[in-house]
Structure 1
Amino acid sequence: MVKIQERGRGKFKPAPDYDLDQVKGVLLEKIEEEMQLTIDEPNTYDFEELHYKANKANIVSLFCGAGGLDLGVELAGIDCILGADTVSDAFKDKEAFNSIRGEGLFHHVYSNDFFKEALETYQKNFPSEVFTHNKDIKKVKQFPKGDIVLGGFPCPGFSEAGPRLVDDPRNFLYIHFIRCLMQVKPKFFIAENVKGMLTLGKGEVFRQIVQDFSAAGYRVYHKLVNSRDYGVPQLRERVFLVGVREDIDFEYTFPNPTHGESPLLKPYVTLKEAIGDLEEDPGDFFEGSYSTIFMSRNRKKNWNEQSFTIQASGRQAPIHPGGIPMEKVDKDKWIFPDGDHNNRRLSVKEITRIQTFPDWYEFSDGGNEKMSKNGRLDKIYKQIGNAVPVQLGRAIARPIAQWLYQNAYKEEKAMEKVSLHEHGQNGVQTIK
């Protein structure tokens, strides 16, 4: 796509073809512009407000949203200590999970997002000692130190669903992720984005992104994965970039699928398994008519399948699997044979499950009573739809957690035992 200097709905026009040299020139120009846009202003937080733990891998989270990736990484870190089955059982209950959160390898220090309600959600579900920063990342002058940087940088400009502009300014927020890496120099980073970033500009955009991350001093591993292959009841393809600092002797390998049609794998998780028990009590859901665009294709899976991708919009939420399947009656036209009134969008409780957040996870709608119910609900749909499915984040982070456990955590525990012996203490020591 190219941008035409016109106002109105027709300003985005498809380019007949891409000249890769021209695309690269545009990218380099936009990267330089993005760096110049950074406002050099004092930090709005004091580094002394940050809480670090010397015996943990400290996390800095950018574009943290509601915390799906952060929670998945945290789970991976507890798995190494207590075992995945034990953690999964505790995860079902907020009180039980909070009782084991301190046992893991990871510790969240700083989380940033510009979406106020998403950050409020993060605050409701993560320990109060995490510093949450509601600020435009372009205006964060200095990022705090950390061992791991996480972030799903915003992706509308890469999406295959909308106009895909090579020079869309939303495509360049990843530069500030890289700026953080260059300041902080963490051991690892994990970044996530939509499938469309792979093909924008005939792949030149993605090649430039990988090159930029590599130039910050990291070996970059990338892969397109489908969340249903890791126990998520949803067809959701996303690109992950994992970086390992060049001086660290660790070769990251993406985890093999745990679920699939092979007899060697667990079966895919179905909608019936995930949300079947909510059929009589689904909770609130976005209400209203369905647009012509919405009805241009099938939006309804059956109980034995996985959900369509959960979008960051209540109006675009998939239809609940109950009742009669949708029927195609013409090109780009589907209907509900049993009528619109017998079909509803998936509820907030249901998409929370489909994105593998626990039932106890609390979402903020901003508390604006003057806003319509649909308006408040849409803020929650947006948070959930933008999130990395928790169990997918857990799987992607597990190889890093295992390496840290084998190479750092055990060494720390050994040093702790030596220190206890040398100081003659009787089994109790607090590491600050």
Structure 2
Amino acid sequence: MNVIDLFAGAGGLSEGFRQEGHNILAHVEMDKHACTTLKTREAYYYLKENNKLDVYKSYLKKEITRDTLYEHIPENVLNRVINKAVSDETNPEIFEEIDELLRGRDVELIIGGPPCQAYSVAGRSRDPEGMRNDPRNYLYQQYISFLRRYQPNYFVFENVLGLLSAGNGSIFENIQEELRDAGYEMDFRILNSRDFGVLQSRRRIIIIGWREGIEFNYPHFETLNHQYTIRDLFQDLPVIKAGEEKEPGNQYLTQQNNYLRESGIKPNEWDVLSQHIARPNRDLDLEIYRYCVDIWNRENRKVRYNELPQRLITHRNTDTFLDRFNVVPYEEISHTVVAHIAKDGHYYIHPDINQNRSISVREAARIQSFPDDYYFESSRTAAYKQIGNAVPPLMARKIARSLINPNT
């Protein structure tokens, strides 16, 4: 189907749909770093389709600049990325740019999810007004304006579970009513990425809608049962310490294992490891990391902040927010990766006590099921934020498949 991706972020949702053969006509996103990531991904697909992946690999190896990379890409391909905030003021411009990209084609599917901060329980707890007056509460109306404009057959709307309780449930009721007014039926489920083969527990609400008159039922997704763990996910990545980076190139320790091959995270014949970079840490934090990993390895439990040795406790608050440090366990799957990883890595400590660091950009991307050929612009911090905000492509791929055949 021909697809528009709204609130696209780094493109996790559209990546899954693209892998299933859907045609992404346009990505609309306000964050400039995420838009650069999307352009670089468009460059990857164009070069792959034209048997010129060596150019893309040269960019990852830092042999050519981004400008040089983009010189190999037609302007109409890069123009699929629209760097604008969705709003009443900007929508006419966005519509005009999308219409030019359509070239007479119909939009058959709209995907995306408005920024979740206004709906998240954590966001509401931090805001003195509980996000009641946050304009992001109503970005769903902008999403619906695109449905009204392009009348796709289907849409997929992703968000955090807090959407169901925002405004004491009134916002979700309004969404359903306004979708009906726009001519759409809808259904939703709370889905967990772990059930789709992603090595991460990540629960999200997935709304699927269809135009009135189309016979469609919300698809049934079979839970994927396997025994793969983070150890399988990290197995071929070289050892680095806090603040270190492996220069891009063929530096994998081993070939594909079964999980990396089956999930598509390490594509066949892919040989360029990039963005295996870890943030630097203070000596105090590294000592806390060692302590937490040691307790996890010996006792299989997390360390609460007030359980740390007294010399490591520097915050006055030892009564609340005690879950500040968390190990990503080798023998299990990961807890949810969120955008806060861009600010510090305390909640994502690497399980190898000898490496003594938080997870690298590439490890975070793998936990989210992004393939190793996916490159995140434009800095380490920006990359972490984009990854934490993304929809896991492996989960998105199976949702995309269900719209082709609801019984698979």
State the alpha-carbon separation in 2 of the partners of residues 294 and 278 from structure 1.
32
Q: Structure 1 regions of 5+ residues with no counterpart?
A: 1-56, 78-103, 260-265, 325-340, 366-375, 406-432
* Aligned 1:122-271 pairs, distance under 5 A: 122-126=38-42, 127=46, 129=77, 131-138=80-87, 139-141=90-92, 142=95, 144=99, 145-163=106-124, 164-259=130-225, 266-267=226-227, 269-271=228-230
For 1:276-291, list aligned pairs within 5 A. Answer: 276-278=235-237, 280-281=239-240, 283-289=276-282
Distance in 2 of aligned mates of 1:189 and 1:255: 17
Structure-2 change in CA distance of 1:279 and 1:309 (3 Å): farther
Match of 1:47 in 2: none
d(CA) in 2 for partners of 1:119, 1:254: 33
Q: CA deviation at 1:216?
A: 1.5
* TM-score computed with the length of structure 1 as normaliser: 0.62
Query: How far did residue 394 of structure 1 move?
Result: 0.9
- Structure 2 letter corresponding to 1:315: K
Residues 2-59 of structure 1: per-residue CA shift (max 9 Å, x gap): xxxxxxxxxxxxxxxxxxxxxxxxxxxxxxxxxxxxxxxxxxxxxxxxxxxxxxx211
Deviation (angstroms), 1:298: 4.5
3-state SS of paired residue (1:161)? helix
After superposition, where does 1:239-388 map in structure 2 within 5 Å? 239-259=205-225, 266-267=226-227, 269-278=228-237, 280-281=239-240, 283-289=276-282, 292=315, 296-313=323-340, 314-317=342-345, 318-323=347-352, 343-365=356-378, 376-388=379-391
Structure 2, unpaired ranges of 5+: 47-72, 100-105, 125-129, 246-275, 286-313
1:107 aligned onto 2:23: yes
Following superposition, the deviation at residue 115 of structure 1 comes to 0.6
The alpha carbon displacement at 1:276 in A equals: 2.8
Q: In the alignment, is the contact (CA less than 8 A) between 1:348 and 1:380 conserved in 2?
A: yes
After alignment, is 228-237 or 285-294 more displaced? 285-294
Give the total of aligned pairs. 288
Task: Give the CA deviation at 1:303.
Answer: 0.7
Partner of 1:72: 16
CA offsets 1:169-209 (integer angstroms, 9 cap, x no match): 11111111100000100011111111111222332222222
Letter in 2 for 1:286: R
Q: CA deviation at 1:279?
A: 5.1
Distance 1:235 1:322 in 2: 17
SS across alignment from 1:173:
helix
Q: Which moved more, 1:189-198 or 1:200-209?
A: 200-209
Pair member with larger Rg:
1
Q: State the 1:270 CA deviation.
A: 1.3
Task: Provide the secondary structure at the position in 2 that maps to 1:121.
Answer: helix
Residues 184, 210 of structure 2: 8 Å contact kept: yes
Q: For residues 252 and 134 of structure 1, what CA distance do their matches in structure 2 show?
A: 32
Structure 1 residues 221 and 254 mapped into 2: Cα distance closer, same or farther (>3 Å)?
farther
User: Aligned equivalents of 2:117 and 2:400: distance in 1?
Assistant: 24
Q: Which shifted more, 292-301 or 122-131?
A: 292-301
Give 1:401's match in structure 2, choosing from 387, 399, 404: 404
Provide the C-alpha distance between the structure 2 equivalents of 1:223 and 1:404, rounded to a whole number of angstroms: 16
